[in-house]
Amino acid sequence: MEIIVLGLSHKTAPIELREKLHIPESELPEVLEELGGCGQILERMILSTCNRVEAYAVVDDVEGARRFLVECLAERHKLLPQAFESSLYLLTADQAIRHIFRVASSLDAMVVGESQILGQVKAAYAIAIEQDATGSILNALMDRALRVAKRVRTETGIATSAVSVSTAAIELAKKIFGALTGRTVMLIGAGKMSELSAKHLLADGVGTVIVANRNFDRAVELAERWGGRAVPYDHAKLEMVGADIIISSTGAPHQILSKADFQEIALQRRNRPIFVIDIAVPRDIDPAANEIDNVYLYDLDDLQGVVQANLRERQREADVAEGLIDREVRQFAEWLASLHVVPTIVAMRKKVESIREEELQKIFSKLQDLTPEERHAISLMTSSIVNKILHEPTTELKRQSALKEGHLYVDVLRRLFGIGDE
């Protein structure tokens, strides 16, 4: 019996190939049922996202299961195996366990620490359970993987820093204002980046959205989408006095706001801070505006700098997470290895218990005058003796089971206790 991972990901296959092999969530039950027809695959689940297609399985013949999985993928997607086999990886035993823990913990993601993958793993596992495709081993493995992922997110800082331009802008805004609840954001221009930033700001509690755009109809359209209000482009400077956060992304070929404009705005705001994000190229705002007290101006390069710094910080946290996963893999592998000694331990205890019971009956038949309480006390005492005698060999057998020559201990113990073959 072996745990395997067979699949491909953004690290081994281009997006064109990942698209061809992608399995929609609605088709997963059918695929799981199909895999159930393979005698070598005992338990299975499929994880298919935009970045990976992977089968997690418990098998009793690795090569047989691999061939069956490859043939299933080829047939389902009308491809020759040669079209994707070189992009596949096959992981077994500890490597497979480690990979599943890393995927669930977002350490194998395109953007390390992103949270979406954990939800995708949970959904894939839920479908496998619904299809009765998992058993005791895969259930234990996936339950542990989800717990490991939770530990990584709570015990390291892997997901605490922003790694996109839009979320980096939110992070900076929070440093200036603290909570964003009730703040007013103004969009100048209607680029996709400003839309995305506005979306994140609203999710963080920003209260009012003002939109100014040369095309007023477009401004109205955006304002309605965000529950805000549109203003004529010529009124933008006046409206900025009441805004706490400005996101500018026009397509103007020159600067549209000067340092003098912001000096006037800052004066009217009575030195209340204003956070300005200039994500236009070429820039909309004179960089010298950043010299004014309480005007916090960031352009695209500034935000990219924050993102790169955060990515480096995430990588440091990922190194911490790898250590945590090392320990979890070792513990799970030891548990898995101990499973094959369970029948021997059960047989050993059963044999000793039958001897104890037999001897008790003999002594009770000779001591007819014993009260029920005395019989109970003697029974408890003999149970205690049996438990103490068996404790050491049981513990040592479990410990040795995780080692290479653990099977020798099983053989010796079965001979010493006269236990027959399983």
Strands 208-213 and 184-188: parallel
The annotation status of 215 as a binding-site residue, yes or no, is no
Residue 108 neighbours by CB distance under 10 Å: 20
Residue of 1, 15, 50, 126 with catalytic role: 50
Is 52 annotated in a binding site? The answer is: yes
115 is in an annotated binding site: yes
Inter-axis angle of helices 406-416 and 372-401, to 10 degrees?
150
Is residue 59 within 8 Å of residue 4, measured between CB atoms? yes
Distance CA 68, CA 4 (A): 13
Residue 422, marked binder: no
Burial bucket for residue 192 (CB in 10 Å: 0-12, 13-18, 19+): exposed
Residue 193 annotated as binding site: yes
Q: Check whether 305 is labelled as a binding-site residue.
A: no
Which H helix or E strand runs over 186?
Answer: strand 184-188
How far is the C-alpha of 272 from the C-alpha of 411, rounded, in Å?
79
Would the annotation count 39 as a binding residue?
Answer: no
48 is in an annotated binding site: no
Residue with tokens 């299809």: 131
The answer to whether 45 is annotated as binding is no
Determine if residue 181 is labeled as part of a ligand binding site.
Answer: no
Residue 108 in contact with residue 7, Cβ under 8 Å?
Answer: no
- Does 116 belong to an annotated binding site? yes
Does 114 belong to an annotated binding site? Answer: yes
* 50 carries an active-site annotation: yes
- Burial environment of residue 95 by CB neighbours within 10 A (0 to 12, 13 to 18, 19 or more): middle
From the number of C-beta atoms within 10 Å of its C-beta (0-12, 13-18, 19+), residue 237 rates as middle
Across the beta sheet with 89-92, the strand order is: 41-48, 52-59, 2-9, 89-92
| Numbered residues of the known binding site for substrate | 49-52, 114-116, 120
Q: Could you give the residue numbers annotated as active site?
A: 50
| Numbered residues of the known binding site for NADP(+) | 189-194
| Numbered residues of the known binding site | 49-52, 114-116, 120, 189-194
